[in-house]
Structure 1
Amino acid sequence: MSTIRQDAWSQDEDLLLAEVVLRYIREGGTQLAAFEEVGKKLSRTSAACGFRWNSFVRKQYKSGIELAKKQRKESKKGVTPNVSYETNEVQSVLTEEQTDTLSISNIITFLGQLEEMEASYVKLQTENQYLKQKIIKLENDINFLTEKKRELERSMNLVEEDYKALIEIMERARKMVVLQEEEKSKVKFQMDRNGNLERVQK
């Protein structure tokens, strides 16, 4: 899957955009379909292609657009377009576009794009710094919670050991009580002829 590009447009890309859009106008297609075709070829979104066309490229091809509309009307009427006229017109448009590359408006547009890119870069830097600080904080929290977990595990082990010891003590005490009761049950007293109690073994 290709990554959507966000870098500045080159002159070749502008030329491809113009050629495709003019072809769609000439053939009666929609500009949206043209933007989608260009977007696939340049790995850009159709919205980006539409924005580039409307904000910059269209101004360079006014005569080319008029020519394409005229050819579309002629083709609907069944008139064969004048190929030589079309070629000369497109060449003149291209020549005009090439000589106008370093015009003030182009430079201003380019500087505007650079400014937008710089603003995006600064924003990304700020977000990156924020995310780094957040990661450091989360790592500290993880270390703190890990230490707490170890302390709880140690405490739990001590409680378990104390519980086992208590159970053993209770078991011993129970056995002692049972033995004492057994001992008591083995002894029997009876009265002798003189009226004295004497201990008799069972």
Structure 2
Amino acid sequence: MAEKKREDSWQDSDDKTLAETVLSHIKSKSTQLAAFDDAAKILGRTSAACGFRWNSEIRKRYEKEVKEAKLMRSKTKNEKTVPEKKERYVSKSNDLNDGPLSFDEAMSRIISIANELLRSYESLVEENRKLKIEVKDLRKQIESSKSTQPLAQEEFQAFMQIMQRAKRLSNIEA
């Protein structure tokens, strides 16, 4: 009995296109999910199908190229003189399938995250200090308005008594 071949089976050219797309995304610091989306458009398949094919079959054949792409990516990252604005606490390479990081790269990421957290903490401490001062000032204003209220009440009562006397005096003289 002859083996029946699926019409939508992956061809070598499809695998090569998928591999080239993923490797170019790795080199350019893009995500593998974005690579799967691009490959899906080129190959006329779903992004999920491309991701499954990459992770189940192709990645194993391109381990050396993946390592080289990651190395190239980290070299270009270290060569930059102006730091990029990073997303808060999220690494640019967010793929779970990127494999393990080198010790130096992991430490670099940890240190940059720690520095960012420290800056954020210091900013919050400063904001907290300013808010405490503002609350203290508002409490003083409330206390001073409470202490002047009885005084204003007394002045109003004295004014009313003067007006009543004036009224009585005007009635007497008339």
Q: Larger C-alpha radius of gyration, 1 or 2?
A: 1
Q: TM-score, normalised by structure 2?
A: 0.46
**1 or 2, which has the higher strand percentage?**
1
Report which structure shows greater RCO (CA 8 Å, sep ≥6). 2
